[in-house]
Structure 1
Amino acid sequence: MTTLLEGKAIRKIFKTGTVETEVLKGIDFQILEGEFIIILGQSGSGKTTLLNILGGMTQATEGELHYQGQPLHKASDAELTLYRRKEVGFIFQHYNLMPNLTAYENVKLAADIAEHPLEVEKVLTDVGLEDLKDHFPSQLSGGQQQRIAIARAIVKNPALLLCDEPTGALDIQTGIQVLMALKQLNQNYHMTILIITHNSEIAKMADRVLFLKDGIIDHITVNEHPLAPEELTW
């Protein structure tokens, strides 16, 4: 498979007055096109900071980051904005839907600003919500709202989908439904999906797992036979 993202000696230091906190301590990694990757780590391990760097929301203090061979670490703010808009979809623990718009309208809003969007109806079908497209967020369960958020993220047809604890606010059964939707999208669209989580059980469904600890990649495992979401034991 082709390399989508590659990081070399990535460091991130946050400064508060004269105090410096090194959150990422020189990590190297490769992410391949079409992979389903889990970044596993406890709170404070640096995984959200890494996700923000991969998504172009912040830049590393030191190191190199290449996307399809292009140096993101040298990109201007305008270039990073274009990268986020065209190449990356984001899914967060909180759904951030527009409450006065229907499910369909929430997804179409994202499609309207994309260069090569997917068909809204098709994406809603992919996440299993075609029958609820005219419902407002307040009429949907938490899991249904998260699947609308997933549809909104993927309708712009990104190469990379970044997910920050996407099941963190959901019960077990609803979380499985959301993970099933993500896995299906990975298979149907060959979309590279990266999930950060502290839940080691979710890691069993990944192609590869990057274990982040105290700002370094402690180790990487490869799942020769990834489990389906419904096979996980919570």
Structure 2
Amino acid sequence: MAAGHSRRSIQRQLGMTYRTVKLLADAAAPEDLFHGQWQNRRTKLDDFKSHLNERWAEGCTNAWTLWEESKTHGYTGGYGAVRACLQPFRTTQAEPAARPPSAHTVSGWILTHPDTLPENERLKLNSVLASCPELEALTGHVRAFGKILTQLQGDQLPHWIKAVRADDLPSLHAFANGLERDLAAVTAGLTLPWSSGVVEGHANRIKMIKRQMYGRSGFGLLRKRVLLA
């Protein structure tokens, strides 16, 4: 029409109906062409879309399974319509789920003194403990034992063992049983200011020298290396 042809002329040249030519000429945008008897037409699946949405939200994403379920509710349409209805859900980009912290990470948070634990890690630990009462009880016992250990409060050890036994924590019960087998020595180690750390350090140094010689030297050579080191 921009070239001067009338609608009737275009109709005759293209072999179209006048109604089609008029529809094309009057459309201001491509979207205006998509109107007619097929728009907003009800389908057999309309009454079952709410059921499909609910099942998808519950985690059932298999189109064939949902089609079979819909047939038991009275749906008489084909599988292709159900699959096409579910396709937009598959192409929607879902937010990636936050990765839960590993057991090693959570253990590190529990073994760190609360005053030195960064704020973001403290909040994450609180979130983990809120969902696991057993882990929350374990954290309390670990921190209480840490206080006994660092502040030399060995007299509190029997009370700590009794508190541990009151909770259903089998692994911690085994640790408490080990403490009770030599309770006097453990209490002394958690009370007195002296330590055998220096002696243990020398023992480890001698073992290291022995390993360096691959077991091929006698006591005399080992003695000289220790004294001259």
Same fold, TM-score > 0.5, yes or no:
no
Scaled by the length of structure 1, what TM-score is found?
A: 0.24
Q: Which structure's relative contact order is higher, taking Cα pairs within 8 Å and 6+ residues apart?
A: 1
Could you say which structure has the higher helix fraction?
Answer: 2
Q: State TM-score, norm by structure 2.
A: 0.24
Higher strand share: 1
Larger Cα Rg: Structure 1 or Structure 2? 2
